[in-house]
Structure formats: C-alpha cells, structure tokens
Structure 1
Amino acid sequence: MYDVTRSLPMIPDKQRIRLRFEQAAATYEQQATVQSRVANRLLNLLAETVAGFKPADVLEIGCCTGLLTEKTLSRFPGIDHFTLCDLVASFEQPVCRRIGTHVEKITFLAGDIEILPLPDRYDLVLSSSTLHWVHDLPGLCDKLHRHLYPEGLFAFSLYGKENLHEIREIAGMGLAYRSLEQLQTVVGERFQILAVEETRETLWYPTPIAVLQHLRATGVNSIGQQAWTRRQVADFAARYQDRFAGEQGVRLTYHPMFIVARPR
C-alpha cells in the first residue's frame, strides 16, 4: 500500500523517513535519475562559483547510497577526511563498498543532523536532495555556520514549491516546501550567498501506478501517515490520468533549487 494524508502542509516524520529510505535502499539508485542529475549540477555549480576550490575536510548531509559521495571524491581528490551523515545507519556499508579505496577517509555518523554533535570543522558542507526534510532549517544553518571554517563553503540542493505538485493536487499530500526567495532569506541570515539557481525536471511514466512505484522505490512516500485502500489507489490513478496525461504517459515534476554560500 501507499501512504497518504489529507492535511497540508506535512511536518516530516523522521522515523518514517528513516524506515522508508531503508526499505528503498535496493531500488533507490535505479529510480533516482533526478537525484543523480541534481548531484551533478550541484558539484558543477560549486566548481563554476569558486574556481580552484580544494577542500580537505568535508561533511555530507544525507549521503544515502553514496551518489554524491562518489562524485565528490572524484571531483576533489585532495579530500583528507570525509564525514558522512545519514538517518539510515545501514547505508554505511553500501557507501563504503561504492567508494572502494577511499573508505579510509570516511567517518560515518548515523542519525539526525539537526541533533547529532559534529566532531569537527569543515572546509565544505555538502547536501543534495535532503534538506527539505529538516524541521528547523534556520537552526541547522546556525549549527553548520559554527562548524565551517571562515573561508569554507556550504553547497546544497533541495526541492521547491512546485516539487511533486501533481501528487499534491490529486492526493492532498506534500511537504511545506519553500520558494527560492524564502530559501535565500533563511540562508542569507548566516551566509553570504555566492550562487543560486533553480530548475524543473519532468519525468514521464506509463501509468499513475508507475508514479507511485517510483516514489516508493526512492523513499519519497515517507510523507504520508496512513495506508491507502484499493479504492483510494484506483481513485488516485483515475484522477491523475485525467489531469496529467500526455503523449509520453503521465508526468511528475521535480523542482530542484541550488545554493552555494560562505559564512558571513
């Protein structure tokens, strides 16, 4: 069954998020096409913004199965120490397998970045497709500011107000996404924003049920509170097909936003 709620906006349930992403570990990378492209764009934007940047001590928030981790180690071979943080403790093994000989550089912190003590200061704090799940983004920005060196960088991507809007319109479920302007206001309290960008990604699926399967396979069905009945699934599928069908099937929209910033 799939999860659903009729009240907006949702406050993310961290335990549910941990469980859903843990369940999606085996299917995540096959389905996470947008997340992979977003990770690539984040690293490209970082390189375009600060030429010649060579971080030695890096923190990644929400490493999942290591998509961004692997790309970052390839992009910055001079990294001496790489701290990875994720709600899902079991992600440590697939990430370490993925990065091979770089594993000696890794410290893995299992838990919620909002409450975990951080053991170090960093040249770079990275996060891709994660920070929309946090409860208190201003508070997290304060925390990360304390753990960044003055010339360090905070580079991240998350999702904006149009993200998965098809699901919101049909099922009445979704996170309290910020607009790009709201995000810049929050981050700008503690950081000088060096680069900002937003894009749209449209994916096409053969049926509305395939959309739901995609969300489950990437852990994104973490926002619901209760399981749908068969009738609710059928009703969702009929209305989604009617509202969002096109020549390529039915669409699903992602709304990535990117920021590169430096501590004030």
Structure 2
Amino acid sequence: MYDVTRSIPMIPDKKLIRLRFEQAADTYEQHATVQHRVAEHLLTMLAKAAPDLSPQQALEIGCCTGLLTQRIFERFPGLTHLTISDLVAAFEECICRKIGPKAEDMTFVAGDIESVRLPGDYDLIISSSTLHWVHDFPAVCDKLHRHLNANGIFALSLYGKENLREIREVAGVGLVYRTLDQVLTVMSERFEILAAEEALEVLWYADPLTVLKHLRATGVNSIGQKAWTRRQVTDFIHRYQHQFGGEQGVRLSYHPLFVIARPKP
C-alpha cells in the first residue's frame, strides 16, 4: 500500500517495482483496462505516423506479461527478431506461452532499461506504459537514440501529470510525472516528433478499497513500502469517498501520453 505518512513526490524504487509487478503477474491483464487501450492506441498512432514502417529488428521496453508483445508480432508479420526487456525475469515464461512459435524470433533481456546492455540496433523501439518509472528520462532517450537505426521509429506511451491524481491528493504520495510538453522538450533534443497526443481515462470503482485492489492487481502500488495501519486505511477510505465519490462510485484517473518520433542525425 501507499505510505500515507509522506507528502512529497517519490523516486521509483526499482526493487519494489520488480516485486510488485512480479506479484501481479497472474492478475495484471485482467485488470489492466487502461494499459490495454493505451497499447492499442499507440500502435494505431504508429500506423498513421509511419505507414511504411516494416521493421526487421525491434525492441520492446517494459513488456510485462506481453499484451503489447503479441500485438507487435501481429502488426508486423515481416519482423525477423524482437528483443523484449523487463525488470521481471519471470515474464519471459509468460510471453513465451502467449506468443507460441514466435518465441523463436524473440530475445528476452531481463533488467533495468537504464543500465542493461542492449544487444543490437533496431528499426523500431516501442514502449507502452513503462518509461514514467525511469529515474533519468533524458539519459534513456540518449541511450535509445544510439540503438535506433537512422530510418527507425521510437514509439512510446507513458503517463502524465494527472495520472492517479486521486491517490496523490488523498494519500499524499506519487511519482514525478511530466507534462506532454516536458516530454517533447526532452525528446526533441534527439528526435524529430512525428505525432504526439494525450488523453484522460477515468475509471469508476464501487469503493476506495476496490481502487486499492485494482492498483495491487496491476502492480501499480509500487510507491511506498510502509504498510498502513487500520486507522490510516479508514482515513483513506473516508477521504477518498468524500473527495472523489459520485453516483457511479469513486473515480480513478489515468493520463496517458503518446509520442511517435524518428532519430535526428
């Protein structure tokens, strides 16, 4: 659960992120409603911005259980090899089961994208619902630029300032999210922006406890390690219901950002 004793933005704890997503492996796809839609929209934007793209070598960052991985193989039947990377080594088995024979055309790289060695250069680098977790986004952009072929494409979705704002306002903690303009400013140093969009997705749940269960089921409860007391849980429920309750239940906001870019020389 979130640490309600703090009221400042928190730096992602990579060990905790790995643990929480590993724990959510069996429940992630059932509850990752927004992440499914975000992945599909990212591919739709990619098709419009780079209609002639036919990658031979591709890299996916933050594959999780493979909901985007499967779509990549379906969208690009001519793909000869896909490298996928994630903090959670156990996701390799999940993905191999999902994509079946296509696993022969895949290399899994376990580790942190900020430090892991990438084994090649790529025609497409794609990442959905992941890069808001990194510590140094500009450095990651520099690194990926070095591994992207001259005519390649970088496609990403991550989350912006309004993401999980209800949790942040009630519990007092949250990641340091960027605005779309801030993301584009960083990326424009190395990339030409082909397309950029943002959206606000609002989900409704029966009550605040169901919100917490949703976050746990998707691994998104990766911000604070200190467990709540019963009093803190009661206080969270009361405040959340009061501030964000309505006829449909209680709301939870996601703020996906989407960017399609190609490398500058």
TM-score greater than 0.5 by the shorter chain: yes
- Deviates further, 82-91 or 51-60: 51-60
Q: How far off its partner does 1:19 sit?
A: 0.3
In the alignment, structure 2 segments of 5+ residues that lack a partner are none
Counterpart AA for 2:128: S
Could you tell me how far apart the structure 1 residues matched to 2:146 and 2:10 are?
Answer: 29
State the secondary structure of the residue aligned to 1:235. helix
Residue in structure 2 matched with residue 151 of structure 1 by the alignment: 151
Q: For 2:122 and 2:114, how far apart are their aligned partners in 1?
A: 17
Q: Measure how far apart 1:170 and its partner are.
A: 0.4
Give the distance between the partners of 1:67 and 1:57, measured in 2 at CA. Answer: 19
Aligned AA (2:57)? D
Residue in structure 2 matched with residue 98 of structure 1 by the alignment: 98
Q: CA deviation at 1:53?
A: 1.1
How many residue pairs are counted as aligned between the two chains?
263
Task: Please give the per-residue CA displacement for 1:163-187, whole angstroms capped at 9, x wherever unaligned.
Answer: 0000000000100000011000011
2:196 alignment counterpart: 196
Spell out structure 1 runs of 4+ moving beyond 6 A. none
Distance between the aligned counterparts of 1:226 and 1:168, measured in 2? 16
Match of 2:208 in 1: 208
Q: CA deviation at 1:52?
A: 2.2
Give the TM-score taking structure 2 as reference length.
0.98
After TM superposition, the structure 1 = structure 2 runs for residues 1-264 of structure 1, keeping only pairs within 5 Å, are 2-5=1-4, 6-264=6-264
SS of match in other structure, 1:89: coil
Shift of 1:85: 0.1
Quick one: distance in 2 between partners of 1:73 and 1:4? 39
User: 1:101 offset after TM fit, Å?
Assistant: 1.3
Contact kept? 2:197, 2:259, Cα under 8 Å: yes
RMSD of the alignment, in Å? 0.7
Aligned-residue identity in percent: 65
1:231-257 CA-partner distances (Å, limit 9, x unpaired): 101100011001111111100000000
By how many angstroms is 1:22 displaced?
Answer: 0.3
SS in 2 for 1:222: coil
> What is the TM-score with the length of structure 1 in the denominator?
0.98
Alignment-mate amino acid for residue 123 of structure 2? D
Alpha-carbon distance, 1:8 to partner:
1.6
Give how far 1:95 is off.
0.5
| CA distance in 1: counterparts of 2:233 and 2:157, whole angstroms | 31
Matches of 2:159 and 2:2, distance apart in 1? 20
- For residues 36-56 of structure 1, the C-alpha deviation after alignment (integer angstroms, 9 at most, x for no partner) is 000000000000111121111
